[in-house]
Amino acid sequence: MNEVTESLHFSDAHAMVTQQLKGARAQVVCALSGPCARPLFDLLLGCRRRGLALTVVVPGDARDTAPGIAWERLEAAGAALHWLAPGAPRLLTSVCIIDAVAVLSGDLAQLGPVPATQTAGVLLQSNGPLAARCTHGLSNLVVTYPLGQDAMAAQTKEAAPTGVRAELVAIDRPPQGTGAWQTELLEAHTLAMQADIAEMHRTLNAFDREQDACIGDLLRQCMDAKRLHLQRLHAQTGREEVRVQAQEAQERFDQYTRSQDAKPAPPSALDPQVQTQMKQLYRKLAMRLHPDRVAAQDKPEAQALFQHLQTSYENNDFSALKVLQQKVLQVPGVSPGIPSIGLFAPNAADHAQALQERLARQQRERATILRSGTWQTLSAQANWTVWFAQQADYLRSELERYDRATSQSHSTPPTVHAP
C-alpha cells in the first residue's frame, strides 16, 4: 500500500521531477499542455533509454515553438508518441504519471535546471487511485484514427512534423464530465498553493514577532530620531527634498507606531517538531475543509471552519487545529473520500476556468511576497537571531549618528545628511 502524499515544488521543481523520473521503474505516461523545453525532453528520453514503457502526448504545434527538440529521437527510442490534432482542446495542465502511483502536474513542460521564482510550481501527488483516474482519463480522451480514414486523420496528417512517424491522434469531442481528472489536478494545485501561501504568512508572522522582540524598540527609536532630524534639517535649510524626506520618515514612523500599538498578544513559540506536525495537519485540514471540496449544502459550515483554520494556523495555535480535526469528523460533507464538487459540476468548463484564474491570482500573491524586502531577508538568513544582532548594532550606530547631528545642530549649521 502506498501512502497518499502531496507536495508542491517551486524553485526545486526541476530537481524533484528529475528525481521522480530517474526513480521510475516501469512506466511513464506524460501529457503536455504546451511546448516542451529541453530539460523535460531529455529526462523523458532517458526514461525510454532505461527500458521504461513511455507514452507522450504533445500538442500538434509543439514542434514550432520548441526549437532543438527532435521528437523523432523519442520515437526511435521506442516511445509511443501522440500528436494532438489541430483545433483539439488544450489540456488544462501538464501531467506525468509515473509507475501508476506518482502524479506530477503543473509547469512540467517549461521547467529548467535554473531555479525560477515565477514558476507556478509542480505538484507531486503519490496517490494510486488518482494516477489510475488520470491514466484512464488520458486513454479515454485520445482516439487513434487510421491514416486517411476520415477528415480528422487528414487534418492530423498535416500537423505531424516532417519525417516523424507520429501516430495520428485526436482529442474526441469532450462529452459531459470529460476532463474531470484535469480539473481535479488543477484543484489540488490551487489547494497546495493556498497551503504554501499560508505557510509563507505564518513564517512572516513568526519573523515579525522575533524582529519585534529583538529590535522593535531600537527600530522605533531610530525612525523617531530620523524623523526629528529631518524635520530640524528642513526647518534650518527649507529645502524641498528634505521636506519630502521628512514627510516620508514621519509617515513610516506613524505607520510603525500604529501597527505596534495594534499588535495582539504574541502566540507562544513552537518547537520545530511541533511546527512540522502543525504544518502537516493544516494541509490535511485545508484539503478537507476547502469550500470547493464539499457538497453545496455543507458550504456554509465549511466556510466557517476554513476561516477558523486559517486564523488558528496564523497564530501557531496547534491545539485549536487539533480540536478542528475532531470537529471535521462530525461534519458529514467534509469527511475524507468525498469527491470534489468540480468533478460533477454541471458546468465543468466554468469551474476549470475559475480554478485557472484562482491559480493565476495565487501565483501573483506568492510573487508579491517573494519580492517583498522582508521575505528576501528572512529567506536569506539561516539564523535570524544572528541577523537581528547585526541589525541591532547598525541601528545603535545610526542612533549615535543622529545624536551627534542633533548636538551639532544646536551649535553649528547642520552637516549630516539623511541616509
Partner 1 sequence: MTVLVLSEQASDRALSVATQHRLDAAAGTLAVLQDAQTKAFFQAHGTLFLCCLQNHYPLTSVELDGFRGLWDWKRLSASRALDWSPTLIAAHLDAWDWDALSKNPSLPWSAELLEQHAGRWNWRALSANAGLPWSNALLEANAYCWDWAVLSANANLPWTAAFVRTNAHRWDWSALSWNTGLPWTGGLMTEFAERWDWTGLSANVSLPLDASLVSTFAAYWNWSWLSSNPSLQYSEALLSAHLLRWDWKALSSATHWPWSPELIARYAKQWDWSALSANPSLPLEADLVQTWAAHWNYRALSKNTAVPWSDVLLGEVPEDAWDWDALSANPSLHWSTDLLARHQDRWDWDGLSWNPGLPWTAALVDQYAAMWDWAGLSSSARLPWSTELLQRNGYRWDWERLSANPHPPWSAAWISPFEEQWNWVTLSSQKNLPWNADFFNAFATRWFVPLVAEHRDFGVRALSAREVQALLSDLGPH
- Binding site residues, partner 1, CB under 8 A: 38, 49, 51, 67-70, 72-73, 75-78, 162-163, 194, 197-198, 201-202, 204-205, 207-208, 211-212, 219, 222-223, 226, 252-253, 255-256, 258-260, 262-263, 290-292, 299, 303, 306-307, 310-311, 313-314, 354, 357-358, 361-362, 365, 372-374, 377, 390-391, 394-395, 398, 419
Q: Which C-beta is closer to partner 1: that of 9 or that of 202?
A: 202
C-beta separation of 160 from 63 below 8 A: no
**Cα-based distances in Å from 247 to 228, 235, 244, 305, 415:** 10, 13, 5, 44, 20
Nearest to 35 by CA among 111, 98, 102, 103: 111
Q: Which C-beta is closer to partner 1: that of 16 or that of 45?
A: 45
Q: Which C-beta is closer to partner 1: that of 118 or that of 260?
A: 260
Distance CA 28, CA 52 (A): 7
Q: Which C-beta is closer to partner 1: that of 76 or that of 132?
A: 76
Helix (H) or strand (E) holding 288: helix 272-289
Helix (H) or strand (E) holding 81: strand 80-84
Helix (H) or strand (E) holding 126: strand 122-126
Q: Which C-beta is closer to partner 1: that of 73 or that of 232?
A: 73
Least distance to partner 1, CB of residue 378, Å:
10
Least distance to partner 1, CB of residue 238, Å:
24
Least distance to partner 1, CB of residue 22, Å:
13
Nearest to 32 by CA among 125, 97, 126: 97
Least distance to partner 1, CB of residue 1, Å:
25
Which residue has cell 521531477? Answer: 17
The H-assigned helical ranges of 9-70 are 13-22, 38-49, 62-65
C-beta separation of 409 from 234 below 8 A: no
Least distance to partner 1, CB of residue 374, Å:
5
Q: Dig out the grid coordinates for 303 from the structure.
A: 466556510
Least distance to partner 1, CB of residue 246, Å:
15
Least distance to partner 1, CB of residue 361, Å:
7
Q: Which C-beta is closer to partner 1: that of 5 or that of 280?
A: 280
Q: Which C-beta is closer to partner 1: that of 105 or that of 194?
A: 194
Helices 272-289 and 299-314: crossing angle in degrees, nearest 10, is 160
